[in-house]
Structure 1
């Protein structure tokens, strides 16, 4: 394999990686190794924290720094164990690639799959000639198939919401599903899927394009929340489920739950949206943009075509650290970490030093090889594009109709023209006079008006007859509580008289956006009462 590409031999590479001095390789040097094709088997060595092993393996890099100091230097050079850990991870992945390929496994264990041979036309004109949905289910579907609940996931979650006989590992909503739980398997048949664009078994950027047998990578088309929901309802068609008892989701899942009701109002009974929104707002978009930027700036990202090389683990780690800042709250961190340092007896360091820094560092390390970088880009972008306002819905409907009316050749030409349409503006953005900005942008309903925007009221009007539970958390900074108030107020303005709105104050929950994962009593309790 290596000889065919004109690169160094596998044995020589193995010997080189084994040498301590190779830990200070630069990224360009590593990327020139023409690494072998990926394998789906994950090396447990890369899963554990590098804090356990870095000090030993990074010594040569530190020694090189010490050698560069002059005897009469005023101060010793600072040490950077966090950078040593990154270099060690890169070297480890290089070493693994000799025999197995560096790409980690994104599977969470056994799950079921449903495959559609019918193409899926996407909102922005892309097409999936065929696609696979990974799913898991709990409970029993009754005879008339009227007790099904579709559970939508957050951005990075798999279909494994609860343990199964085939996969006993605890799921991400383990305590919320089961006999007598909020999603009671004695009553309901619960289905959870991995979204289209994800990497836990459903078709996404890491999947193989049937046209050429290669990974889609960034040839994967842009997807929307509505595209994900349409794919899920194809799965429901496969089950013969004509109408759901309920659509339930939190965070991104809360967005999908509302979208499912708008797209298929006649096929859903009740709707639950926790810590979600009816349209993405600037702060959330800005934070996700920042995550995508640091990921794409990782040289190993290679514009998305990294599947035969080293994955962009450094960019993924930083992106996850930024995300974690938005998932949890300031009040919680004040109590958990305060201003405490990990080791007060040592001098301050530019690497993780305060307890909060070590917490974020651990969150990034844990995630950076568990999730596909391209999936993070695509799924987070789908969240940014989300808007249930009437005007946006009409625009997307018109675009879909245009794409449906085109021949395959026309669609290819249209996709080619759109692929080069995004350019930076010639002039940077400048602040506008305040009188024009107040007319141009909507603000939180609670602080400006007693009535929601007419555009959003019209957009959510298909849900006027659906019993709906909307929950928010005061300590949530990613999807602030006013966004859930906006949903509830908009539904009521649209004529829905069966809206239940619950807001957890900071005296109840300090866990911020992640409250939906942690608060069984208040989140779970309200869901149980609402579902009946």
Structure 2
């Protein structure tokens, strides 16, 4: 047995791919090659070869992760610390036909629940945030909304009982692609079913059922959380008192879909992604890094970066390089590097796709109801799809897409390309259920990912649907230059308006 292990170790060393060679060894090989060429009388290149420390760093990380995979496995623990956990053993039917036979919801709370449980606020997270919005006794690390929550704060824990969950599909304790499928004891990976924002909200309300909370004082969320907050009101109007949607939308629009698509593509094209089955190997950290860099571009604003970085280079005394050179490049590189092993790659794919699918229009809601009913009936009849059938039947077109302005638009596109003077009637019909819900909608003029017109659309739609208790706040660039990330940083304006609205 020991002899076999030794042979295997030798094979691993011999078969080690070239990219795992340390950069200094590759550079030495390159130098030696030049010397041999010179000695042989061959002509040398006009200029020396450029070095790429940014690529060396990626290769070095791959080597480190490979070494770790030989022992404990490379997949890091994504936990944000100690959380509470709710296990739901009742199956959760998902909007696109998938089923979770059981699932976990990781959550944390702050502030005391009152006797009749009427002071609960459900706080929804952005795409990659955990349930750790504020520090706790068991986890003293500052949370992502640390300054917004607390006694006398924007979310006043003297008044309210705040609940924040990690969404289903995530990787911070709730069931997601990196979780174990109870059916076979293996990780779901890309066998995890497609999710919607509404699926996440239904799972959250299972938690509320378990906690005995019949009605929320308020549903509060920013970014993806702003979508969830609206969806909570639409799905459970009788169980939500007030609604707060910050830097969100009532339906995803092409620009944000395009940006998330690009992030998913660079991640999925990392060979280490391996179609989602990377948990026993090296995770796709390079793809994750690039995806985060693209996302970071959309999170902040140009004017802010003009002030922070301008055109300054990290080291003007050095010759320009193809690796990060300008300060803004080094900032993006750092943001991507910091994130690439902090969040599960498959969770990023699934959760971002759920954001793309979001649409509270009446037609989409009706189609979903019909689809869920048909799937429920199929499950009741105990019919099963054939084992070999893939869960995605999408096929790519035979010829590439071309702009065809004179052709008839596809069946699923708008009938007119002209900008309407008001919100679409389909969306108005979809939000009529919120006509009596006091709602705060906030947006930021410097936000390019969820532009301020999308929050204006929410407010106008609600008013047209009969809601006369809508408060709409739009922060100009003179007030906040932080772009989409303003909801994380602007305590005075975002937090102040939130505090006043909640009362």
TM-score normalized by structure 1?
0.89
Unaligned runs of 5+ in 1: 31-56
1:165 aligns with 2:137: yes
Aligned residues between the structures: 495
1:492 to 463, 469, 472: 463
SS of the residue corresponding to residue 450 of structure 2 reads: coil
SS of the residue corresponding to residue 385 of structure 2 reads: helix
Aligned twin of 2:41? none
Q: Is the 8 A contact 1:61 1:84 kept in 2?
A: no
SS of the residue corresponding to residue 221 of structure 1 reads: coil
Q: Is the 8 A contact 1:451 1:493 kept in 2?
A: no
SS of the residue corresponding to residue 113 of structure 1 reads: strand
Structure 1 residues 121 and 8: CA distance shift in structure 2, 3 A: farther
Aligned twin of 1:59? 24
Unaligned runs of 5+ in 2: 39-43
Matches of 2:378 and 2:410, distance apart in 1: 40
2:439 to 460, 465, 468: 468
Alignment of 1:430-441 (within 5 A): 430-433=402-405, 440-441=413-414
Q: Is the 8 A contact 2:82 2:138 kept in 1?
A: yes
Q: Is the 8 A contact 2:190 2:275 kept in 1?
A: yes
SS of the residue corresponding to residue 406 of structure 1 reads: helix
Structure 1 residues 431 and 151: CA distance shift in structure 2, 3 A: same
CA RMSD of aligned residues (A): 2.4
Structure 1 residues 200 and 229: CA distance shift in structure 2, 3 A: same
Q: Is the 8 A contact 1:148 1:190 kept in 2?
A: yes
Alignment of 1:279-318 (within 5 A): 279-318=251-290
Q: Is the 8 A contact 1:114 1:132 kept in 2?
A: yes
Aligned twin of 1:38? none
> How big is each residue's C-alpha offset from its partner over 1:314-361, in whole Å with a ceiling of 9 and x where there is no partner?
100000000000111111111111111111111110010110000000
Higher deviation after alignment, 447-456 or 137-146: 447-456
Structure 1 residues 246 and 423: CA distance shift in structure 2, 3 A: same
1:409 CA displacement: 7.3
2:18 to 22, 25, 41: 25
SS of the residue corresponding to residue 132 of structure 1 reads: strand
2:334 to 343, 362, 369: 362
SS of the residue corresponding to residue 220 of structure 2 reads: strand
SS of the residue corresponding to residue 201 of structure 1 reads: coil
Matches of 2:220 and 2:366, distance apart in 1: 25
Alignment of 1:497-508 (within 5 A): 497-508=468-479
SS of the residue corresponding to residue 165 of structure 1 reads: coil
Matches of 1:508 and 1:63, distance apart in 2: 54
> How big is each residue's C-alpha offset from its partner over 1:395-414, in whole Å with a ceiling of 9 and x where there is no partner?
11100000111136765318
1:427 CA displacement: 2.3
Structure 1 residues 522 and 313: CA distance shift in structure 2, 3 A: same
Structure 1 residues 10 and 228: CA distance shift in structure 2, 3 A: farther
SS of the residue corresponding to residue 135 of structure 1 reads: strand
Matches of 1:256 and 1:415, distance apart in 2: 34
Matches of 1:442 and 1:478, distance apart in 2: 25
> How big is each residue's C-alpha offset from its partner over 1:70-118, in whole Å with a ceiling of 9 and x where there is no partner?
5422100000001100010000111112222111110011111000111
